[in-house]
Structure 1
Amino acid sequence: MPQPYRVEALALHQVGVFDDVSIDFKPIASAERDADKAEIHLFTGPNGCGKSTLLYALAEIFNGYQGDSLILSRFRSSDSYVDFLFREQAGKYGVRYSNLVSPSSNRYGDFLIAKYEPTNGRYFGYGKKNFEENGLRLWRQCTDISTPYNLHPMTRFKYAAFAYSGQRTLRDTKISAIQQITATPFEAALSFDGSVRPQILLQWIANNRTQSALAKADGDNQAAQVYDQALNRITTLIRDICDLELEFRLERSPLAVTVRVNGDTIHFDSLPDGLKSIISWVADLSLRLEAIPWQEQRDVFSQPIILLLDEVDIHLHPKWQRRILPAIQTLLPNAQIFVSTHSPFVVGSVEDAWVYRLPEPGQGNGIIEGVQSGAGKSYRLILNEVFGIDDEFDIETEALFDEFYRLRDRFMKDQQGLEVLLETAGKLAARGEEAALIVNRELRQIARVTGQELSLA
């Protein structure tokens, strides 16, 4: 069964490159789906097709126009709006309120206006049914930057939402003391590029290492394991993705957080970009999950969350691109994850996922259908089906093949141009073993059909 806290549909009207487009986010229907894996939705397509716009629209469902709204800057007119369906409840937000009444309705059902700002016309509406109990209103109230996240000491959260980009934001930051982190776990949680907070992240690592050491000194190994758990999960994840052994360390003099990579101590500024990117958002997510007062007491990585990842493959070696989503899918079994990517290695890495190929800019209308990913597809097939790329070689080699096939067709028709055909075939064969095999196969086929002896010099 899919986790109950999930976005089920999204529709954009006059937003970014989209005139009017809608997407249904179905759970994976396969009966063989592993119940202990996250539900993943992948957005692919050319530059400018709206991948980030969709992620920003999803983030705004939970962000509630706090501060600078990423999606608001992509609204094209006062008629721009976004409809959504979350937990079987309809919702809508936009920039003009005059045509709406409360309660109102959209393509997904009825909703109430929950927030309206007359000075700039922004509005947000959600869930006419069980408006107070459905969870989203509590989430938006408690995470609003203008109010404390713990409106009441007994406030507990059923789910949470987070958004990250693939930027390598982690850096060396001075740790002046071991001190309590006072920032809320919801601060900038949906800002993508600004979600990772280097100072807080290193302070959290320092605090966990200190508390673990104090617990061990007191002989409380069970408490020490609790403090070590989140960091150990991160290092296990890195080992699964990158084949690297990591250890987070707290140096005493001067006080600083460092990381050991395969036994070598490295400062964060000197980490490879891909490794820095993964540690940045995974560790930040971990500290937020650990700090949230959850309603249900369980492993924090198993809590229901909505996770948005923009260009998760940036800075990563293809080998790491193939491994990152399967590792995250297992780490966060009750997550609904939305990912934008340009990488066929990412698309081909997960068996249970939905893939949405977004149309070229200017063609973003109608319903965008998702197709199920599946094991056994070659990267050649993924490039063709998902990314629309038919080429197998570099641009110059592909141009030579085009010329070769043109000359082949001419020769097969009127037996003219043999010398030029063989000259082009020779140029192709000189480009590499694979090209030579293709050319020789084609020449043998021509020889069989025409009865002429053909061979390269």
Structure 2
Amino acid sequence: MEEFRLTSVALKEVGVFDDVRIDFPASVTTEPRTKAEIHLFTGPNGCGKSTLLYALAEIFDKPLFGAGLIRKRFRSADSSVAFSADGWWGQYGALFRAAGPSIETEFGTAQAWINNANRSWYFALSTSALPKAFGSGGASVPLASVKDFQESFQPTASLGAIRIPFAAFAYSGQRTLTDVQVGAIQQIANSPFENALSFDATVRPGVLVQWIANNRAQAALARSDGEEEVAATYDRTLGKISQLLKDVCDLDIEFRLRRSPIAVVASINGSVIPFDTLPDGLKSIISWVADLTIRIESVPWTEDRDMFEQNIILFLDEIDVHLHPAWQRRILPAIQKMLPNAQIFVSTHSPFVVASVDDAWVYRLPEKGKQEGRLIEPIPSGAGKSYRLILEEVFGIDQEFDVDTEALFDQFYVERDAFLTSKNAARLLISAQSLVEKSEEVRVIVETELRQASRRTGIEVRLA
């Protein structure tokens, strides 16, 4: 079974990036796949983490390019994003400068699929990725056909023979879940591709609540008709979400349809809680995980298999932003297990996220103007490493305490070095006393340093 996956991207004059290339190595996990492939983007504020996600998401968005998130970050007529996948490649950008329909990209020759000179944008693809009729032969459906299909797909229309082998979705760590009135149990007419790559607007609270109501009502109707297997199918879908929430939050969460008045509520460890009053972190997780479930359930997939095992490309922009560190440690392993055939790209500031997954890749994006070389190399993720080591290796932070305490330590070490030469302990003891008032942990470090200084000088130095 051939899976779609991105292999490289190159950005020129886009956001903070002058000229950068990133290659995405495959997961080293042997078949069969049991965990999603994960790529983590880290770095200081303003280093381009979100820009990079927007650039990747635009590859899969509907073909009305021109008002997307990434276009706002184009800096000139030469701004471009080149990309490659297994077996094909392409490029999009501000201005198509080639004399004919062909353009030489970072990864090979591509043909202009969309070239709007009036609006100054283009999208070029290799021949194998250009549109072709569905069912016209060949082993795979090309990217351009999938993008075109997203524009016209309607869930309520007859699906016919049209199926797609992969789909992409993007979310940010927002908290959008709210109480929405359920007017009736009715079919959802929204396309699974509606704002699917918008990040901030991907989650649709009204659709989410309606979908839960439909799911619970259909399960109940199936049971009343004696169709227990059908009812169990509906239970399994919501059960996947509940299990993920259990894995991440260690909470027993069920979604229920209340009869009078009709409303969707959450039961958390046996207590019914309205959506509006859920903790922000829980709102965030439920919002995007449930929305993703709704979407992948509605996609007409080529492969006849469990919907959570479909070939998904997922972009997550700082989904850890509202989460307690304990939940940050668990969110990616849970998603990695839930979507075993997905390729997931994540931006994060959290060492707990970076340290939470094994068999993943981390890309440390430098501050603007401090990039060394054009290629940003991946490093193995941090599962099995201490948080202290992750902070130093990945985030470039070797300090262990708050800023004020670190400043006091800096002054203490200056006075210690001066004492080793002058043998006058007065200033060293004043500095040491200021430090030990911070905490017992700090006192242990200071007393150890004083004992070492005493041994080296032969002069006993001790706190009062």
Give the shorter-chain TM-score range. over 0.9
* Identity of matched residues, %: 55
Letter in 1 for 2:116: E
Counterpart contact for 1:325–1:346, Cα < 8 Å: yes
Residue 395 (structure 1) shift: 1.0
Q: C-alpha distance in 1, partners of 2:273/2:284?
A: 15
- Where in structure 1 are there 5+ consecutive unaligned residues? none
Write out aligned runs for 1:133-152 (5 A): 133-144=140-151, 148=154
State how far apart, in whole Å, the 2-side matches of 1:369 and 1:151 are: 46
Give the distance between the partners of 1:254 and 1:66, measured in 2 at CA: 44
Would you say 1:80 and 2:73 are equivalent positions?
no
- TM alignment of 1:26-425, pairs within 5 A: 26-29=25-28, 35-63=33-61, 64-66=63-65, 68-99=67-98, 101-129=100-128, 131=130, 132=132, 133-144=140-151, 148=154, 153-364=160-371, 366-416=374-424, 418-425=425-432
**Which segment drifts farther, 18-27 or 407-416?**
407-416
Cα deviation, residue 129, structure 1: 3.3
Q: Does 1:456 align with 2:455?
A: no
Change over 3 Å in CA distance of 1:221–1:66 after alignment to 2: farther
Classify the secondary structure of the residue corresponding to 1:184. coil
Aligned counterparts of 2:104 and 2:415: Cα–Cα separation in 1: 62
Letter in 2 for 1:231: L
Q: Is the 8 A contact 2:37 2:336 kept in 1?
A: yes
Residue aligned with 1:129, SS? helix
Q: How far apart are 1:100 and its partner, in Å?
A: 5.4
Using the TM superposition, give the Cα deviation of residue 251 of structure 1 relative to its aligned residue in structure 2, in angstroms: 1.0
Residues 252-261 or 100-109, more deviating: 100-109
In structure 2, stretches of 5+ residues that fail to align are 133-139
TM-score, normalised via structure 2 length = 0.94
Which amino acid is the alignment partner of residue 58 of structure 2? E
1:304-344, CA deviations, whole angstroms, 9 ceiling, x for partnerless residues?
11000000111000000000000000000000000000000
Q: Quote how far apart the aligned CAs of 1:252 are.
A: 1.2
Q: Which amino acid in the other structure matches residue 72 of structure 1? A: R
Q: CA RMSD in A?
A: 1.7
8 Å CA contact retained: 1:111, 1:126:
yes
What is the CA deviation profile of residues 141-172 of structure 1, one whole-angstrom value per residue up to 9, with x for unaligned ones?
A: 1112x665879621101011000000001111
TM-score by length of 1: 0.96
Is the CA contact 2:101–2:112 (under 8 Å) kept in the aligned structure 1?
yes
Match of 2:136 in 1: none
Aligned partner of residue 60 in structure 2, secondary structure: helix
**What's the offset of the Cα at 1:34?**
7.7
3-state SS of 2:59 partner: helix
8 Å CA contact 2:116, 2:122 repeated in 1: yes
**What amino acid sits opposite 2:292 in the alignment?**
L
Please tell me whether the aligned partners of residues 301 and 332 of structure 1 are also in contact (alpha carbons under 8 angstroms). yes
In 2, the alpha carbon distance for the partners of 1:89 and 1:102 equals 17
Structure 1 residues 167-176 or 95-104, which shifts more?
A: 95-104
Over 3 Å counting, the alpha-carbon distance change for 1:400 and 1:222 in structure 2 is same
Measure, in 2, the Cα distance between the counterparts of 1:152 and 1:298. 17
User: Does the CA-based 8 Å contact 1:358-1:368 persist in structure 2?
Assistant: yes
Query: Partner amino acid for 1:77?
Result: S
Deviations 1:281-317 (A, max 9, x none): 0000001111111111111000011000000111000
Residue 101 of structure 1 deviates from its aligned partner by 2.9
Asked if structure 1 preserves the Cα contact closer than 8 Å seen for 2:382 and 2:390, the reply is no
Q: Partners of 1:307 and 1:320 in 2: how far apart?
A: 20
The residue identity in structure 2 corresponding to 1:444 is: R
C-alpha spacing 1:233/1:130, structure 2 compared with 1 (3 Å): closer
Q: Which position in structure 2 is the counterpart of 1:16?
A: 15
Alpha-carbon distance, 1:426 to partner: 1.6
> 1:99-154, CA deviations, whole angstroms, 9 ceiling, x for partnerless residues?
3532332121122211122320211111223644552112101112x665879621
Cα gap change, 1:130 to 1:68, in 2 (>3 Å)? closer
Rounded to whole Å, the distance in 1 between the matches of 2:392 and 2:250 is: 30
After superposition, the Cα gap between the structure-2 partners of 1:18 and 1:130, relative to the gap in structure 1 and judged at 3 Å, is closer
Aligned to 2:128, the other structure's residue is in SS state coil
AA aligned opposite 1:298:
R
